[in-house]
Structure 1
Amino acid sequence: MPSPSTSAQSHPPRWLAVYLAALVALTPFSIDTYLPAIPSMAHALGVTVAEVQRSVSSYLLGFAVGQIFGGPLSDRLGRILIGTIGLGIFIASTALILFINNAELLVVLRFCQAVGGGFATVICGAIVRDLYHGRDAARIMSMIATMMLLAPMVAPVIGSTLLTFSDWHAIFIFLLVYALLMMGVVRSILPETVSKFRRARRQRQSRRSMFNGYGEIFRCRRALGFLFAQALISGCMFIYITTAPFVFMERFGVSSAHFPLMFGSCVLGLVLMVQVNIRLLKVFEPRQILLVGMSLQLMSCALLLGSTLYFGRELPLLGWMIPLVMAMGFNGLITPNSAACYLEFFPKISGTANALYGATLFIAGGVLGGLVNGFHTGTLVPIAAGMAACSAAALCFVLFVARARRPIDVDGRR
């Protein structure tokens, strides 16, 4: 009689991508829904807005920590157990936030909340790698990405709507309810994709060896090429996200009412290209589409930089928006395929590999986005130049380190 894990791998449940996307969406919901409430939270706690904003940074740090530790633990103990523990930490931390009375406690609890979120969401990419590989993995990643891209657009709207009917506590009640629903999904719907034999074998190993998978990853040169390339692409995205308010509202004078429209246009471009990617995967390999996507993005970033330098302060909004939407949109051809190519190398430690992948993207994106902000000159040149530099470096990593023009064999080592 086949084990549940074997059965799940032979017949993955229908709508699995929807459930995994809903679980991964816990992170953007946790970050973006409460952004509109930061001023009111600062007023309620009697502190400055800057003190409350520290809780955003603490969440990003906690999420990276949760991913780094949650991935190897899920390889050792199973996906469902780690997902359950993570959601339990998230639920407890969120409930405690409802009773805070100072900003310091908010920062600590947001860190704990993020660690739980990292544990819970790191299992998603691992489950995809356990069940699928190659084109199928990239197709599922694309479907998850499509739904995931909608979360950052919807989250601030949810937060603002809740604030019109109540205070900031309503936002964390929403997160609490959402996490409880995800607990039901993890416990009742998601398959356990780590077999009992594999779990027992890993549990017999020393606890120190639990993190040996990270050493295995860093010894795989081609996989690191895909990883660092995607980290740079994430940096390009974070540069856009962190500078968007200045670009649209200060540089081009877009009103706060129209800002979501400008910001969301790039997200819609991304969603469109993800759908194109799903159809291309029926014909081409993920690494082939990845090379084309990165080349097109570099051309778009070069056009953005050229347009910025040529027009200077006379740059029209359309001259900025067209290449920007193109550059961000081509991420739909890049991100799902780079993830699939990278994870292809590590079928036995997919939880560890996905943990490093997620943590690296957040850390690299945050650092590169902050670095460009540090070179702020009041013009768009550092922004366009930073995006072009990230895109060019990413293509170099894929071509010369990952050697994406060469096929990846079954064991992922050639």
Structure 2
Amino acid sequence: MSKHIPTSLLLLLAAVFALSPFAIDSYLPAIPIIAGDLGVNTSLVAVTVSIYVLGMAIGQLIGGPLSDQLGRKPTMVAGLLLFAAGSFMMAGVESLEMLWAWRVVQALGGGIAVVGVPATIRDNAVGKEAARLFSLIALIMMLAPSIAPTVGTLILRSQSWHWIFYLLCFLSAMIALNAMVVMPKTKPTKKEKGSGGYLSVIKERRALGFLVAQAFGYAVLMTFITSAPLAYIEHFGVSAELFSGLFIANVIGIVIINRTNTFLLRTYEPSTLLKAFLTLQFIGGMVLITSHFIAPEKLWFIVPGFVISIAANGGIMANSSACFMRYYGKNAGVASALLGAVQYGVGAGVSALAAMLGGTSLWPMIIAMVGSTTIALTGAIIGARMESCNKEDVEQVTQASQQ
């Protein structure tokens, strides 16, 4: 059964979820300026993007057990305040080493805080309702990376780069205050033999297919974001303005698929839609392979393949999250942490490998995207089959978690 979730709580969860994408993208325009002020190579400052992704994955692994043992509210607030502290200290750094160090603190806080989002949804909803909520939050979250670079650029027009991190500190502190008021109190999970802990999550074999689907579906998105400048600017020689337009086309596609997914959830199960959207992503991958093989220098041949592949994530993430989380009740915090950590870890690893092997060729990027989709679709098919064979068991888990 599902409980009613107030709009104020949904907006809070979306804000927490959007904080990390905003932290990653808002200071991108300032990276060359920061490098100049610190007297280091631009690439060394750009490393902070990877540092954040890794730190956030670790933060989620830390925050998961805390969320189950101490409750969602105190864990989320603590993570947000840690993020705020890291952001504030980053604004005052005078060396690259300190920038890296406080970036780790910021990322750990972001990871600890975000664990509470899927866990809170799982506390209140399962199945189609959970998928709808994940879809709505994902839609709001996607606005952050879309507007974050613009916000950073606007700040740089009138202020120094330090104020970008002051803004992140302020936003996190405000979200923390809101969480203190809006977040419902949850009872800490009692430690029982055989329950809780990452081992218990991994032992739930029926959920692992959906974990694979989430991680490798996200890897497609991360690979595109990492290698898009190589594909569009270096390979096809497009202008910065056209690159922005092509990037926005993917965001629009994600929003359209996201809203379509919400509509279709009235009729279809999340696992069915997950397979459908992964199939759509696979079709996009086939378009990429075909277009680049036939006309490797024709930009408009390959753009539809990228848009289809990336837009499909608007339906993949919400449904895979709902399918995975439905198997976990009292240890939803740990399950959420593992889901996030594996997602970011696989996404960062695949995208980094594609970037390192890329050079001047788009084939490593395309192969990484299509290969990840194939693995994700395989995981979803296996997960859906096991789910259909064990529906009664799933319902028992759902009912037990509501008690």
TM-score between both structures, scaled by the size of structure 1: 0.91
- Between the aligned partners of 1:338 and 1:283, the Cα distance in structure 2 is 17
CA contact (8 A) 1:70 1:119 kept: yes
SS state at 2:241 partner: coil
Q: Deviations over 1:179-214 (max 9, x none)?
A: 11101221011222x22xx44x34xx79xx99x521
Q: Deviations over 1:348-368 (max 9, x none)?
A: 111111111111111100100
TM-superposed CA distance for 1:120, in Å, is 1.2
1:335 aligned residue (317, 320, 326) = 317
Residue 189 of structure 1 is matched in structure 2 by: 182
Residue 98 of structure 1 is matched in structure 2 by: 91
Residue 358 of structure 2 is matched in structure 1 by: 376
2:74 aligned residue (62, 66, 81) = 81
- Please tell me the residue identity of whatever aligns with 1:277: N
- Please tell me the residue identity of whatever aligns with 1:286: P
Residue 372 of structure 2 is matched in structure 1 by: 390
TM-superposed CA distance for 1:347, in Å, is 1.2
Runs (5+) with no aligned partner, structure 2 = 399-403
1:138 aligned residue (131, 151, 174) = 131
- Between the aligned partners of 1:377 and 1:46, the Cα distance in structure 2 is 27
- Between the aligned partners of 2:36 and 2:119, the Cα distance in structure 1 is 41
TM-superposed CA distance for 1:154, in Å, is 0.5
- Between the aligned partners of 2:385 and 2:376, the Cα distance in structure 1 is 12
SS state at 2:378 partner: helix
What is the identity percentage for the equivalent residue pairs of Structure 1 and Structure 2?
A: 36
1:32 aligned residue (25, 37, 40) = 25
1:250 aligns with 2:243: no
- Between the aligned partners of 2:130 and 2:383, the Cα distance in structure 1 is 22
- Please identify, of 380-389 and 393-402, the stretch whose mean Cα deviation from structure 2 is larger: 393-402
Flag the 1:10–1:309 CA change in 2: closer, same or farther, 3 A.
closer
Residue 154 of structure 1 is matched in structure 2 by: 147
1:125 aligned residue (118, 134, 138) = 118
- Please tell me the residue identity of whatever aligns with 2:268: F
Q: Deviations over 1:258-312 (max 9, x none)?
A: 2221112111101110000001011111011111111121122112111111223
- Between the aligned partners of 2:339 and 2:53, the Cα distance in structure 1 is 14
- Between the aligned partners of 1:299 and 1:106, the Cα distance in structure 2 is 42
CA contact (8 A) 2:28 2:149 kept: yes
- Please tell me the residue identity of whatever aligns with 1:388: V
- Between the aligned partners of 1:105 and 1:15, the Cα distance in structure 2 is 37
CA RMSD, 1 decimal: 1.9
Which consecutive segments of 4 or more residues in structure 1 shift more than 6 A?
Answer: none
TM-superposed CA distance for 1:29, in Å, is 1.1
TM-superposed CA distance for 1:405, in Å, is 6.8
- Between the aligned partners of 2:8 and 2:248, the Cα distance in structure 1 is 26
- Between the aligned partners of 2:96 and 2:199, the Cα distance in structure 1 is 38
CA contact (8 A) 1:248 1:254 kept: yes
Residue 323 of structure 1 is matched in structure 2 by: 305
Residue 61 of structure 1 is matched in structure 2 by: 54
- Between the aligned partners of 1:235 and 1:376, the Cα distance in structure 2 is 16
- Between the aligned partners of 2:387 and 2:307, the Cα distance in structure 1 is 27
CA contact (8 A) 1:87 1:183 kept: yes
Flag the 1:75–1:158 CA change in 2: closer, same or farther, 3 A.
same
- Between the aligned partners of 1:404 and 1:332, the Cα distance in structure 2 is 24
Give the aligned length. 395
Flag the 1:11–1:384 CA change in 2: closer, same or farther, 3 A.
closer
Runs (5+) with no aligned partner, structure 1 = 1-8
- Between the aligned partners of 2:78 and 2:8, the Cα distance in structure 1 is 24
CA contact (8 A) 2:34 2:45 kept: yes
- Between the aligned partners of 1:105 and 1:377, the Cα distance in structure 2 is 31
TM-score between both structures, scaled by the size of structure 2: 0.93
Residue 401 of structure 2 is matched in structure 1 by: none
- Please tell me the residue identity of whatever aligns with 2:292: T
1:231 aligns with 2:215: yes
- Between the aligned partners of 1:38 and 1:333, the Cα distance in structure 2 is 32
Residue 5 of structure 1 is matched in structure 2 by: none
